Amino acid sequence: MSEDELLIYIDGEYYPKSEAKISVYDHGFLYGDGVFEGIRSYGGVVFKLREHIDRLYTSAGAIMLEIPLTKEEMIEAVLETLRKNRLKDAYIRLVVTRGIGDLGLDPRKCPKPSVIIIAEPLLQLYDRERLEKGISMVISWVRRDPVDATTHEIKSLNYLNSILSKIEANNAGADEALMLDHRGFVCEATGENIFLVKGDTLITPSSSSGALSGITANVVKRIAKEMGLAVIEKDVTPTDLYNADEAFLTGTAAEIMPIREVNKRTIGAGRIGPITRKILERFNEIVRDPKEGVPIY
């Protein structure tokens, strides 16, 4: 173990990164049976930590996974992991797996779920050029799993649906993949929600398309209302998207990312639009506001 190794939380203990391991019999590994959250802290404040914890417990409830900590204990475990690593600006991955079982998939064979917290320093990768130019997307042939299947409304460890789409984006030389729902309506990207700007209205697909109810997306809806924009959730077709004035993605990792083109159709002016820019500026203020999160120290 080297002195500067990160410390990883596993079931109440801290292990250096090189020694942080879980069993090959863990059903999170064998079957993708578990739930997770991706969280960020900005300047010593964990942005929307309570909302992420609520969503983690909602996802766990849907798959009947009983998390062995109360929400308050979980919040404290996240904060303590950040303190142990002396982190202020970090990306946090919180994972709860079904735990160790046998080689059958029956979750009743897994008596003890495991809780894992990884926190890594986040360099301010403020890629200005990418933000100005926006990203390219392709529509993937892989549909978002429907709400009566492994829907992304549940943030489970099953991300093969998104990974298949990411592979299509990589193969096409595009920055990201756009996923449609089983009906052919626009749903979301592989790990981001999507918004369209049309006149003075912000449009986003509803969660009945199987899109995750994004925490960043909820902040963006609030900002848009503050700005006097109408916010509507409705079915969006690829044609609606091609003809939007502006479009952007939202997510904890991506923050707010303008879209330049989809399947070679240029969106709006083919660069960040004025409304996206305003939303982004306000978002950058909100994430650094201590009232919007939980302080680490």
Residue 53 contacts residue 47 (beta carbons within 8 Å): no
Q: How many residues bind ligand PXG (CB under 6 A)?
A: 15
207 binds ligand PXG (CB under 6 A): no
| CA–CA dist 7, 102 (Å, integer) | 29
Stretch that binds ligand PXG, among 7-15, 128-136, 212-220, 264-272 (CB under 6 A): 212-220
The binder of ligand PXG chosen from 217, 241, 267, 275 (CB under 6 A): 217
Query: Please, are residues 187 and 234 in contact by the beta-carbon 8 Å criterion?
Result: no
For residue 231 the two structure tokens come to 């916010």
Q: Binding of ligand PXG at residue 214 (CB under 6 A)?
A: yes
Nearer to ligand PXG, 110 or 175 (CB): 175
In whole angstroms, give the CA distance from residue 173 to residue 3: 40
As given in the structure block, the two tokens for residue 134 are 């926006």
Helical ranges in the chain per DSSP H: 27-31, 49-62, 71-84, 128-133, 160-172, 215-226, 238-242, 274-286
Q: Which is nearer to ligand PXG, 28 or 191 (CB)?
A: 191
Respond yes or no: is residue 225 known to be catalytic. no
- Which of 112, 155, 221, 234 is catalytic? The answer is 155
Residue 28 is a binding residue for ligand PXG (CB under 6 A): no
Nearer to ligand PXG, 10 or 254 (CB): 254
- Regarding 38 and contact with ligand PXG (CB under 6 A), the answer is yes
In the complex, minimum distance from the CB of residue 180 to ligand PXG, in angstroms, rounded to a whole number: 14
How far apart CA 83 and CA 180 sit, in angstroms, is: 41
C-beta neighbour count of 66 within 10 angstroms: 10
Considering only the C-alpha atoms of the chain, give the largest distance between any 2 of them, rounded to a whole number of Å: 57
* From candidates 65, 250, 268, 276, binder to ligand PXG by CB under 6 A: 250
Q: Which is nearer to ligand PXG, 134 or 191 (CB)?
A: 191
Q: Which is nearer to ligand PXG, 110 or 131 (CB)?
A: 131
| Residues at the site binding ligand PXG, with contacts judged by CB under 6 A | 38, 152, 188, 191-193, 212, 214-217, 250-253
